[in-house]
Amino acid sequence: MLLSFHSQAESESLKVRIVTEHLAPFQISDNYELIGGIVAIEVQQLINKILPENKIEVLPWARAFQIASERPNTIIFSLVRTPERENKFIWIGKVAHVPMELITLKSSKLQTIKTLAELSDVQIGVKRLDAVTIWLASQGLQFDKELVEIVNTYTTMQMLEKGRIDVIPSTQQVIEFYCKETGCKTSDFKTIYTLKKLSEEFYLAVSLGTDENLVKRLRAEFPLLDLPIQ
């Protein structure tokens, strides 16, 4: 039996926001309008059922993360769950598990590394406020030296192809989708390091202070989704 929830008027008074970023193939947008994605399609069904009047907003990741960090009644996906974030959000459920790797061009002189210390003075394209970025910085890599902040994942891929950065943190799923979109080959890239401690656990989460009835309804409906959890 479904949990009772607010009337439509009460739901509107919550002023719920749902935020995400373009991160193909998980969330796919066109001009900041959500148009698909293996995670987004399922989350959209959930939102249609619980909050049919609400629209999912596609924003630059730093902006989406800031809103969800500061504003109650905000739903965010796909958010990496880390120990540092554990008590900063209410976690609804896992939407995907993705091994994270450091990737460069196949033509690069860079070879497989054993430690991150070997990347001293190598430029790594990262997203601001991203979990991978924060973790790499905690391992001794420095902003404006090794870590180059870029607005989104797609742009990091473009800059890697153009040789403007040397390495990016990414996943095989992202590389495969990017090549389908742009015509490149996955064989144009190679992995030089696997971030075993940072394989990404993507989650649907809500901000602290979010209405308890909304949290209960999300948790009740979430197990019904057909998500790409490996």
Q: Could you read off the pLDDT of 126-185 as tens digits, one per residue?
A: 998 888 999 999 999 999 899 999 988 889 999 999 999 999 999 998 999 999 999 999
pLDDT exceeds cutoff 60 at 23:
yes
Query: Residues 82, 120: one domain?
Result: no
The reported pLDDT for the residue numbered 197 is: 73
pLDDT class of 14 with cuts at 50, 70, 90: low
Number of domains comprising the chain: 2
- Domain holding 25: CATH number? 3.40.190.10
pLDDT class of 74 with cuts at 50, 70, 90: very high
Please check whether residue 2 lies inside any domain of the structure.
Answer: no
Compute the average pLDDT of residues 116-124. 94
* Average model confidence (pLDDT) across the chain: 90
Domain span at residue 207 reads 8-96+201-224
- Summarize pLDDT for 93-112 with one digit per residue, the tens: 999 888 889 999 999 999 99
Please check whether residue 166 lies inside any domain of the structure.
Answer: yes
Please check whether residue 1 lies inside any domain of the structure.
Answer: no
pLDDT class of 2 with cuts at 50, 70, 90: very low
Query: Residues 107, 188: one domain?
Result: yes
Query: Residues 12, 56: one domain?
Result: yes
Query: Residues 110, 164: one domain?
Result: yes
Query: Residues 104, 186: one domain?
Result: yes
Strand order in the sheet with 200-207: 56-58, 17-20, 74-80, 200-207, 89-98
Please check whether residue 19 lies inside any domain of the structure.
Answer: yes
Query: Residues 149, 211: one domain?
Result: no
pLDDT exceeds cutoff 60 at 3:
no
Non-local (6+) Cβ contacts of 34 within 8 A are 20, 27, 28, 40, 44, 56, 58
Query: Residues 87, 14: one domain?
Result: yes
Query: Residues 215, 188: one domain?
Result: no
The reported pLDDT for the residue numbered 12 is: 46
Query: Residues 125, 74: one domain?
Result: no
Query: Residues 129, 165: one domain?
Result: yes
Contact 153, 174 (CB under 8 A): yes
pLDDT exceeds cutoff 60 at 6:
no
Global pTM? 0.72
- Summarize pLDDT for 46-58 with one digit per residue, the tens: 999 999 999 999 9
